[in-house]
Amino acid sequence: MATRSLWRTRTKLAVAATALCGGWAAATVSTSDDPATALKLCTAVPLRLVRDSVTAASIAFDYEYSLFGLPEGSSERAQVKHEVHLRSARKLQELCFRNGGIYIKLGQHIGQLEYLVPQEYVQIMRESMLNKCPVSSYDQVCEVFKKELGETPDQVFEEFDPVPIASASLAQVHVAHTHDGQKVAVKVQHTHMTDTAAADHATVELIVNTLHKFFPSFDYRWLLDEMRESLPKELDFLLEAKNSEKVMENFRKLSPYIANYIYSPRVHWNLSTSKLLTMEFMDGAQVNDVKTIRKLGIQPHEVARLVSQAFAEMIFKHGFVHCDPHAANLLVRPLPSGRKSILGKKEPQLVLLDHGLYKELDFSTRFNYAALWKGLIFADANAIKENSVKLGAGEDLYALFAGILTMRPWNRVIDPAVDHLVIQGTEGDRSELQMYASEYFPQISELLRRLPRVILLMLKTNDCLRTVNNSLVQGSSPETFLIIGKVSSKAVIEAKMSQNKSFLNYFSIWLEEIYLEARLFSIQIFMWLLQFRKALSL
Decide: residue 12, CB within 10 A, 0-12 exposed, 13-18 middle, 19+ buried.
exposed
Strands 348-352 and 262-263: parallel
Taking residue 97's Cβ as centre, other Cβ atoms within 10 Å add up to: 16
Q: Are 322 and 311 in contact (CB under 8 A)?
A: yes
- Name the DSSP class of 259: G
Question: Which of these, 164, 482, 477, 470, lies nearest to 327 by C-alpha position?
Answer: 470
Q: Which of 52, 200, 289, 324 is flagged as catalytic?
A: 324
Question: What pairs with residue 266 in β-bridges?
Answer: none
Which residue blocks in 32-137 are alpha helix, DSSP H? 35-67, 75-99, 102-110, 119-128
Spatial CB neighbours of 459, under 8 Å, sequence gap ≥ 6: 404, 405, 451
Angle at 531 between CA 527 and CA 536, to 5 degrees: 145
Task: For residue 324, indicate whether it is catalytic.
Answer: yes
Distance CA 163, CA 99 (A): 22
Residue type present at position 368 = N
Instruction: From residue 164, give the alpha-carbon distance in Å to each of 58, 189, 242, 305, 461.
Output: 35, 12, 24, 32, 27
| Residues recognised as catalytic | 324
